[in-house]
Chains A and B, each alone.
Chain A
Amino acid sequence: MAETSTLPAGRAVKLKLDRDGIVKRGFMALIGLYLFAALALPLYAMLSKSFVTYGFDLTRYEFQVSDESGTVWGDPVSAASLNDALGKFSDADLASSSDGRLAVTDLFPDFSFKSPVKYRLRSTTADAPYLVGLDLQRTTDWQEFDSNTFRRVNLRPVTTVGLQNYVEYFSNPALFSSIENSLFISVISTVLTVGLAFGFAYALNRSCIAFKGTFRLIAMMPILVPSLLPGIALIYLFGNQGFLKGLLMGQSIYGPLGIVIGSVFFTFPHALIIISTALSIADQRQYEAAESLRASSWRTFWTVTIPGARYGLISAAFVTFTLVITDFGLPKVIGGQYNVLAIDIYKQVIGQQNFEMGAVVSVVLLIPAVFAFIIDRQVQKKQVSLLSARSVPYQPKPNRRFDMLMFLWCLIVAFFIAGIIAVCQMAALVKFWPYDLSLSLKNYAFNRMDGGGWAAYWNSLQLAAMTAVAGTAIIFTGAYMVEKVDGFRAGRALFQFFAMLPMAIPGMVLGLAYIFFFNDPANPLNFLYGTMAILVISTVTHFYTVGHLTALTALKQIDAEFEPVASSLRQPFWRLFARVTVPVCLPAILDISIYMFVNAMTTVSAVVFLYSTHTALASVAVLNMDDAGDIAPAAAMGMMIFYTNAAARILHAFASRRILGRTQAWRAR
């Protein structure tokens, strides 16, 4: 073989872009741009904000004072040396916020606005702003003022970029203790949830108990309600007027105890789904092998079951941990004086208007969330390879004692979950707890309470519907472009990164980032601030990743050869997309849309910073009514969300079956 062995010099042949290629890249750029504007830029704005501090820099100003005649001038003297001489402002006094003002007359103890003395002021650097009345001055020229004008001169703070905010944060024991608190409740809740969910999943997959379907249904209910709803139920049960308060033996439900119980409630279904999937892929043959080797069931459990489910357990633990540490609603409702990171963000931003410190706490909260996300992704990758097409599914055998035990386990967990929902329902229907226990619908008369009234509910419904429709369209199209565009590798990798990122971003952080980005008057997208659109955008972005992964999984199962076939038939890709890809992926598309809908109904964390008076939301109304002491109406609104989501779920199941029956006849042989 006498061929030349190296590639001749020259440029690589590149295919000309056809219309398909251009349109596909266009779509991907558009959705990429969306993710960039709705995710990357806000996060960047937030991050940079956390490094900004405001303070008055007196070294940047110089004064001259005249004598009584107003014609003879003294030597220029810097504001800093005036202050040193007077000892008027300490360093702490000179720290400020973005709209701080410092009256220059404070540096002249014998100032009188009636005196004929005149004053001159100049900035020694370009970045030394001051106000004359309301007019901002940025000049290094001397300006002369009579004393009457001079009293209306105020220095403005200058920004410094640095770690001061972080230093301040970490030296504030009250703030710092929130980290401990957050980690504490997250770890405890994670251990409890994963333990309970493992037992429950084990019962569903490895025992012969009755009512598995019912148990599974009950276990999924917490997904349909906002995370703060269990808090309201716990207040009714164990709060100051709770009828089971005695059970706590003097412990208060307001604080870590309440947060942990509520967290177990709302994270349970998430952990259950993951662990149940891990347990359901067991291979019968491994158990037969263990039995033939005469291993005890205890030994089999530890050498076969647990190793087989370990990735599921790790993944469930990280998901639970992230959900708890980033949750805001529950600690807000039942946390009492117990501060956690998510609450600190809220307090700093809404309570103290200290946006920079809010940004710092957000960054701190981002660290464990990103960390958990990265580990979870690594684990998930390994999980996939465990599945093999040749596995023989595990068939549990009846065992009376064991089944009894498992049934009891499920019964207790189901009782706990259903009980919480039932208590909320009861709270919503009882007239006046605990004095008048007769039933009425008066708690549903939301228009008579603060919090947005029925309008908030309709807003939520609108948000959920729009999020479901727009979100599903954006997510599925984006995933299609990532999966089915050929070439353009760097662009696709970048897109994929942006699509995965939202999972690592806590809702509070996203919401705050949106304030920084969209509320900036210089931003051309500023008009979105305070509209329903920004709520839709934030919600779509917040829940982007799970939908993206669902879509990718469905798309990967489609034959990769469809696109080449369609282009060889000279058909545009959108025809293939509409006629084949979308119909084949319809089950996944429906799953994404119901996921978006339910989450849009229940989410609090991102939208709590972004709603305006005319876009109040049901989930936020629950929070606000609870805050205002209207706990029963809060429970009633929470239940409205529950009914809606339950109805949506039923509708989804029904629609799925119908559409599958009609359009997916090809699935049946």
Chain B
Amino acid sequence: MMNALTADAPRADAADPYLKIDSCWKAFGEFVALRDITLDIHKGEFVCFLGPSGCGKTTLLRAIAGLDPQTRGTIRQGGRDISALPASQRDYGIVFQSYALFPNLTVERNIAFGLENTGRPKAEIGARVAELLALVGLPEQGRKYPAQLSGGQQQRIALARAIAINPGLLLLDEPLSALDAKVRVHLRHEIKELQRKLGVTTIMVTHDQEEALSMADRIVVMNHGVIEQVGTPTEIYRDPATLFVADFIGETNKIESVFDKGAVRVGQAVLATGAKGLADGGAVTMAVRPEDILPLAAGHEARPAPNHLNVTVTSMEFLGSYWRTHLTSDSLGETPLVANFSMNAVRRLGIEPGAALTVELPAERVLAFARGA
């Protein structure tokens, strides 16, 4: 993961991260919500904490915000140890899922809330508020009350309020979850653009993988209070470090199998795999994504080749851009496979329920994870 840089992910000196989380634990009574979390976040990065509910992502965010301190461990921000600092002495802006706009204050007063009471002259505050309203694309809405705005507009106001004070760190706690799907996709893009423009280090908590994949420079996948993997969206997707990540991000076929000399054995089938570092004869779970299963033209049935499987189509669902196809193979035994075939392939190869065909599982796309770990 060290070299996991995408072209547009700005990053300062890698040796000197902006936010440094070191061996953090969080316990609520007997329940351990965070286990030994160590994580570096660099200046200007957009990082997503991704995981199912209860995985500890919000707990970690609240520890960073000083709202619910970690039980053990240290957090440093910009070289300063903030582990025991109360929220008011840290340097961040925060946006919640509920927006938390002050209902009795106008949009302008909401945005100005953090600017007032700081000795700034009124005119300067007014100008800054106008600038922020323009920045989030709501220049005309300043005199309205939050309840008069749509959910998406309210969330943009909450964002403007959070960045008004030029925080070093922007924390977003499921900011899009309360919005409907269309607005969500739109706002995803806007937030990302805004973050790029401002260059503010941003952490977003989400349980929505699409959100994380489309917005983040790096994704921190969490489960049961542990970091499963840290990496760019493509790394996380193409090279999941654990079965959990493979399963949680995107879809995957999981098949119990045995590892043997650079290949997995499932039933009578032997499939070469790119997975390394597994013990020969060890029980593993083989994983292959539906879109990595390639349909081959007719004529391959009789000529067995490495990583080719003869299958029968049991059923198909049309999902717009592709067909979700359920397959069975004699050599795999009982285990069914799910493959996503493009419309073109389905038309060209005449794939239909009941049809027999040959598919290829490319060796570098066949993953294997040791079982029971």
Binding site for B on A (CB under 8 A): 1-8, 10, 12-21, 486, 559, 561-562, 564-572, 575, 579-580, 583-584, 663-669
Contacts and interface: CB of A to CB of B under 8 A. Distances in A.
A564 B67 contact: yes
Contact of B102 (A10, A16, A564, A580): A580
Contact of B27 (A5, A7, A566): A7
Given A13-B71, A570-B88, A584 B83 contact: no
B153 to A, nearest CB: 13
A588 to B, nearest CB: 14
Given A8-B25, A15-B69, A570-B114, A561 B100 contact: yes
B105 to A, nearest CB: 7
A579 B373 CA distance: 54
A663 B65 CA distance: 32
B117 A571 contact: yes
A569 B147 contact: no
Contacts of A579: 102, 105, 113
B25 A575 contact: no
Contacts of A571: 113-114, 117
B196 interface: no
A276 B90 CA distance: 50
Contacts of B322: none
B25 to A, nearest CB: 5
B145 A564 contact: no
B68 to A, nearest CB: 8
Contacts of A580: 102, 104-105
A561 B102 CA distance: 10
15 contacts: A3-B35, A3-B36, A7-B32, A7-B72, A8-B23, A13-B69, A13-B71, A562-B100, A567-B86, A568-B90, A570-B165, A666-B104, A666-B145, A667-B103, A668-B147
Given A14-B69, A568-B162, A4 B36 contact: yes
Contact of B226 (A1, A16, A583): A1
Contact of B71 (A7, A486, A566, A568): A7
Counting from the closest, the 3 A-B pairs by CB-CB distance are: A569-B114, A561-B100, A666-B145
A586 B321 CA distance: 55
B199 interface: no
Interface string B219-259: 00000001010000000000000100000000000000000
Given A8-B23, A13-B73, 10 more contacts: A1-B226, A6-B32, A14-B69, A15-B69, A559-B98, A565-B96, A570-B118, A570-B165, A575-B117, A666-B146
Contacts of A667: 103, 147
B25 A7 contact: yes
A566 B85 contact: no
Given A20-B88, A561-B100, A12 B71 contact: yes
A18 B228 CA distance: 35
B87 A568 contact: yes
A16 B84 CA distance: 6
Nearest to B92: A568
Nearest to A6: B32
With a 10 A CB-CB cut-off, give which of A486, A580, A663, A665 has the most chain B CB atoms.
Answer: A580
A18 B105 CA distance: 26
A666 B147 contact: yes
Contacts of B72: 7-8, 10, 12-13
A416 to B, nearest CB: 44
B89 interface: yes
B194 to A, nearest CB: 18
Contacts of A17: 86
Contacts of A583: 104
B87 A564 contact: yes
Contacts of A6: 32
Contacts of B35: 3-5
A142 to B, nearest CB: 67
Contacts of B117: 571-572, 575
A8 B36 CA distance: 9
B93 A568 contact: yes
A568 B373 CA distance: 41
Contacts of B71: 7, 12-13
A12 to B, nearest CB: 5
A638 B59 CA distance: 60
Nearest to B242: A1
Contacts of A575: 117
Contacts of B27: 7
A20 B67 contact: no
A583 to B, nearest CB: 5
A569 B93 contact: yes
B94 interface: yes
Contacts of B65: 564, 568
A605 B321 CA distance: 79
Contact of A567 (B32, B87, B98): B87
A15 B85 contact: yes
Interface string B106-122: 00000001100110000
Given A571-B114, A667-B147, A15 B86 contact: yes
A570 B85 CA distance: 13
B51 interface: no
B206 interface: no
B285 to A, nearest CB: 14
Contacts of A572: 88, 117
Given A5-B35, A13-B84, A561 B96 contact: yes
A561 B93 CA distance: 13
A583 B146 CA distance: 15
Interface string B146-188: 1110000000000001101101000100000000000000000
B162 to A, nearest CB: 7
A8 B118 CA distance: 42
B108 to A, nearest CB: 13
A564 B147 contact: no
B70 interface: yes
Contacts of A562: 100, 102
With a 10 A CB-CB cut-off, give which of B32, B92, B100 has the most chain A CB atoms.
Answer: B100
With a 10 A CB-CB cut-off, give which of B35, B69, B88 has the most chain A CB atoms.
Answer: B88
Contacts of B85: 15-16
Contacts of B87: 564, 567-568
Contact of B100 (A18, A20, A559, A664): A559
Contacts of A14: 69, 84
